[in-house]
Amino acid sequence: MDLLLPAGAVLASYLVGSLSFAVIVSRLMGMSDPRTYGSKNPGATNVLRSGNKKAAILTLLFDALKGWVPMACVQAYGPAHGLGGDVVALAGLAAFLGHLYPVFFGFVGGKGVATAVGVLVGANPGLALATLLTFAIVVYFSRYVSLASMVAAIFAPIYLVFGSGVAWQASAAQVLCLVVMAVLLVWRHRENVNRLVAGTESRLGTPKS
């Protein structure tokens, strides 16, 4: 197989992931750049701090879609050109990396939670459901969204490994892509980790002082 095709698919996925919808949606709706207020993180949670719920929902939706769309395209059109499951996984990882380090926005991106969800849906809906249930359980008992995001990210590759041969098939490359995503997602939440350790992290439903 010509390496140009998989390389092109991965590059295109990265470029799609580099579309920072927090910034794009805010600009289109005449709002302030989310990188200038709150946590300065270009993501749906920070857009919500503007008070515009519609903008936050649109950001969340499009950030998730940009993780799913590249994988869906490779799954739909790739087999005819010899592109298999490993290229699908790499496309998802590339879209995730694009969100974290967007070439169109000075390589300053978000934390990647919504895009990671889109990637999981593209990889396997069952895997996405198991990971989202983990997120929901941790949020319910801890009220920490950041903690739930990190725990769910860590468990995603574990579910993939233990589900292989039972609920779905997975290659070593697919597992490795999820491991890389989990490590990067936890790294992007390092400030949240510091606040969790210090006991100053905000709980869901608790007004900030």
Task: Provide DSSP, 95-115.
Answer: HHHHHHS-GGGTT-----HHH
Confidence of residue 1 (pLDDT cuts 50, 70, 90): low
Distance CA 160, CA 5 (A): 27
The pLDDT tens digits for 129-182 are: 999 999 999 999 999 999 999 999 999 999 998 887 666 677 888 999 999 999
Distance CA 78, CA 184 (A): 27
Q: What is the mean pLDDT of residues 47-53?
A: 90
Task: Let me know: does 42 contact 105? Beta carbons within 8 Å.
Answer: yes
* Average confidence score pLDDT of the chain: 92
Distance CA 109, CA 98 (A): 8
Q: What is the mean pLDDT of residues 178-192?
A: 96
- For the chain, the domains span 4-198
Quote the pLDDT of residue 2. 76
Confidence of residue 11 (pLDDT cuts 50, 70, 90): very high
Lowest mean pLDDT among 2-6, 97-101, 135-139: 2-6
Residue 23 has pLDDT above 60, yes or no: yes
Identity of the residue numbered 108:
V
Quote the pLDDT of residue 166. 62
Q: What is the mean pLDDT of residues 72-100?
A: 95
High-pLDDT (> 70) share of the chain, %: 95
Instruction: Give the residue, 103 or 45, on which the prediction is more confident.
Output: 103
Quote the pLDDT of residue 3. 82
Distance CA 173, CA 75 (A): 16
Quote the pLDDT of residue 158. 94
Q: What is the pTM of this model?
A: 0.92
Distance CA 57, CA 45 (A): 9
Q: What is the CB neighbour count within 10 angstroms for residue 145?
A: 18
Q: Report the SS3 class of residue 168.
A: strand
Rounded to 5°, the CA angle 181-69-148 comes to 35
Quote the pLDDT of residue 204. 78
